[in-house]
Chain A
């Protein structure tokens, strides 16, 4: 694990909570969480943090323990997989990390030397959804021509060009031929296509003061040993300030599971 990321330190932790929330509470609750329809102190969020803490705060699970996880830059954190003896056996990260792995270890062959699998299900009663980020294309001037262009970018034809020209981001159009993708990106795309559900990265959808502020800090503090309810109450306080909508936004901090 590596949570250091300069001005963005802490974000790799948010991806953990998002993956756990999707698997333990389900996509519907995940949406309510993003919209602040449920407070941060909700028992389901507390459970997600604690489950994450059982891994991240355990020095025998994490290379260097919490102090290592907090000190190490996210780009360097997978390198422990490839040392002799290995410093770690598994690494949780979004597909972009492939670039950093290959840059730091140019001799590795994707799929042969390292591979990818979807974060496993936690609650056997639930399906296994996938979370991720993505490029968003926006429109500043609503004209017929611009709309046609947007449709083209989303079409099989448009995205095929993207892939053929070396774009390694998994295409969202289901009909794109993946043969031009490298084998690992192609595998990620198949995971995306077969996922039970897809949800956009929660922290990226939240108001900045929460999603790229309090949430990041919360992950650092929690990994550093802070009490789960202290962290969640702080997050809820930040959410009360930052959100203008959401059923849980009312200026009152609900104790929930805390």
Chain B
């Protein structure tokens, strides 16, 4: 049906107004400011972007973002899947799931503070207050600066916090999907002589594929936006900075509106493909 006139605009107006003023307008202004200098006074073309791809700090941030996207969604989703399947077979399933899901209820800054204690370092002559270094010293090793050692120890230590928070979320969603698989199907495979391992790989996993894809893209988007954990634990020092933290520093510490806006645009562009995949899947599901 095709409507003529303007009445449909009336229905669209509230949504357009909100989207326009809170999404489209700020995005366009950010894009505009990214072509200007620190004080937004002078047009400098693509210099802010050139800086992102030549300056050591932002190159490290880009590298770390890439590292996060490779490691974190893969680990959160596979750990979530593992727990969803394993907990399906244990007696106190609800209890086990609640324990894993609980970190979701903690704010990222709170989680950062908790893990700062986990990674705490005190000189070897004093008792260790951080559990990891306490274990190390109990085993006869020297304590190490978990958040200092670059690039692997500290970056993986930060990713562990993110995984600790989000694996539970992946588990809950994947668990629901797993329970949605008809038991008859699994039983049929069993009758046909498949072992549990084969059932998982050849029956359950293919059926979970759409859910895994949605969870994985969601995790990728969240990973790209990671900020709080790094801000609290290392403030991006010792080679742990990601783009979002760099953007915050440029904006609120150095008051460089141009550089901060350019980084914001880069993050947005990096996010686009993931969003497109998500929207496409959504349409495919809707059957359009």
Contact = CB atoms under 8 A, between A and B. Distances in A.
A80 B125 CA distance: 10
A228 to B, nearest CB: 16
Interface string B135-155: 000000000110111000000
Contact of A7 (B126, B149, B231, B255): B231
Interface in B103-122: 120-122
Contact of A213 (B145, B238, B253): B253
Given A71-B148, A224-B148, A242-B254, A64 B237 contact: no
Nearest to A67: B145
A212 B253 CA distance: 8
B256 interface: yes
| Interface range on chain B (Cβ under 8 Å from partner) | 20 to 34
A208 B254 contact: yes
A235 to B, nearest CB: 12
A232 interface: no
Interface string A15-43: 00000000000000000000000000000
Contact of A63 (B120, B123, B144, B145): B123
Contacts of B254: 207-209, 213, 242
B126 A220 contact: no
Nearest to B147: A71
A68 to B, nearest CB: 5
Contacts of B144: 67
A72 B237 contact: no
Contacts of B237: 9-10, 217, 220
A91 interface: no
Nearest to B121: A71
B49 to A, nearest CB: 15
A83 B253 contact: no
A56 B126 CA distance: 20
A253 to B, nearest CB: 14
B64 interface: no
Dominant SS at the B interface? loop
Nearest to B130: A71
A111 B100 CA distance: 52
B106 to A, nearest CB: 19
Interface residues of A, number: 25
Contact of B235 (A9, A83, A234): A9
B238 A220 contact: yes
A70 interface: yes
Contact of B255 (A10, A64, A208): A208
A209 B57 CA distance: 13
A248 to B, nearest CB: 19
B256 A209 contact: yes
Nearest to B149: A67
B249 interface: yes
Contacts of B184: none
A138 interface: no
Given A67-B144, A71-B145, A87 B123 contact: yes
B210 interface: no
A213 B144 CA distance: 26
Contacts of A83: 126
B124 interface: yes
A224 B235 CA distance: 16
B123 A64 contact: yes
B123 A7 contact: no
B286 interface: no
B192 interface: no
B125 A87 contact: yes
Interface string A202-238: 0000011100110001001000100000000010000
B121 A72 contact: yes
Interface of B: 56, 120-126, 144-145, 147-149, 231-232, 234-235, 237-238, 249, 253-256
22 contacts: A6-B235, A7-B231, A7-B235, A9-B234, A63-B123, A64-B123, A64-B124, A67-B121, A67-B148, A70-B145, A70-B148, A71-B121, A71-B148, A72-B122, A85-B125, A207-B254, A208-B254, A213-B249, A217-B237, A224-B148, A234-B56, A242-B254
Given A71-B121, A209-B253, A224-B148, 7 more contacts: A6-B232, A64-B122, A72-B122, A80-B123, A85-B125, A87-B125, A224-B238
